[in-house]
Copies of this chain bind each other. A is one copy, B any other.
Amino acid sequence: MIYKAQSNQKIYVLGSGAVGCYFGGMLARAQQDVTFIARPERAYALNDAGLEMDCKAFHETIQVKASSDLSTLRDADLVLLSVKSLDTERTLTDIKSVLPSKAVILSLQNGVANIDIASQIVNNPTYAAVVYVAAGMIGHRTMKHHGRGELLIGNPKESVLDDEQNLKKICKLFEVADVPCTISPQIKREMWLKFLVNCSFNAISGIGQISYGEMVKSPGIVKLIEEITKEFLAITALENVNITLAEALAANESIATTMVTQISSTAQDLSKGKMTEIDFLNGYIVELGKRHGVATPYNQSVHALVKMLESQIK
């Protein structure tokens, strides 16, 4: 597998939501060759008027390429996979026949199931990025950035020979684009820590259409998050992931304090009348609980309520 030099890599953002637009936008702004894959309306808007990046550090409109045509991926060197978890299987199945073997996939998605799903469909080297960014889309071409934006990347499966070189190249690409990027030797653990905070915050923020900072002002919610976390840790122990309760609570605390005004992607999806990723968040914990024979009543409660809210989407 030959990985092209940074300067002429063809990068595709597969799924142009807030996460795809933030990281793809940062690369495009740094003169990288980036194509955003999006639904026709968004692709048209991005092509036509550019990506407006309303960031904490700057406010610029970046001229970008965008397309709805998956066959354009035939020359891809790097694919930033940023579709919703529920679309991973269908999307990779759709691109399987055109994706060149040289292409490296970096999943910027939530949850811990996507790398496995991808690996069952394509043979390309597939890495995980653990993403902490507070951002949202306003209309089709404006990405509003509220804070953070760093990446931890790595291979959550057993290491293969070219991993380190591939990962270093990805890191360099992001770093020259002002995106802090670190290779983590414990990426699986980092993914589960991110997954934890998603389980702790996404559903509740979605149910209440409420920011992380507001949520934790409610003492019952602090307790609920702690119980969700304890169930989560009972599962991680059985999945051979070692996270202590103190570490888990610190991770939750960090989100509540660094993303005070942020509402979750689940909340954003529900308010836009879109399907959420909840089956891959608290729903996945409930699923793993059933598999392992572990009761998960708190995760089950918030999952059921988000599914109910989803069912009201017309």
Chain A interfacial positions (CB closer than 8 Å to B): 204, 207-208, 210, 214-215, 217-218, 220-221, 223-224, 227, 297-298, 300-305, 307-309, 311-312
Q: Please, how many angstroms separate the alpha-carbon atoms of A304 and B297 in the complex?
A: 14
**A302 vs chain B, min Cβ distance (A):** 7
Question: Is A224 a contact of B300 with CB atoms below 8 Å?
Answer: yes
Question: Is B309 a contact of A224 with CB atoms below 8 Å?
Answer: no
Some 19 contacts from A to B, beta carbons below 8 A apart, are A208-B305, A208-B312, A210-B312, A214-B311, A217-B311, A218-B304, A218-B307, A218-B308, A218-B311, A220-B307, A221-B304, A221-B305, A221-B307, A223-B300, A223-B304, A224-B304, A224-B305, A227-B297, A297-B301
- The chain B residue with its CB closest to the CB of A216 is B308
- The chain B residue with its CB closest to the CB of A301 is B301
Of B217, B220, B303, B304, the residue contacting A304 (CB under 8 A) is: B220
The count of identical subunits is 2
**A28 vs chain B, min Cβ distance (A):** 38
Q: Please, how many angstroms separate the alpha-carbon atoms of A49 and B210 in the complex?
A: 40
Question: Is B303 a contact of A301 with CB atoms below 8 Å?
Answer: no
Q: Please, how many angstroms separate the alpha-carbon atoms of A221 and B309 in the complex?
A: 11
Q: Which residues of B contact A214 (CB under 8 A)?
A: 311-312
Q: Which residues of B contact A208 (CB under 8 A)?
A: 305, 308-309, 312
Q: Please, how many angstroms separate the alpha-carbon atoms of A305 and B309 in the complex?
A: 14
A305 in contact with B227 given A217-B311, A297-B298, A311-B217 (CB within 8 Å): no
List the 3 closest pairs (A to B, CB-CB), nearest first: A220-B304, A301-B301, A297-B297
Q: Which residues of B contact A301 (CB under 8 A)?
A: 224, 297-298, 301-302
- The chain B residue with its CB closest to the CB of A295 is B297
Q: Which residues of B contact A309 (CB under 8 A)?
A: 208
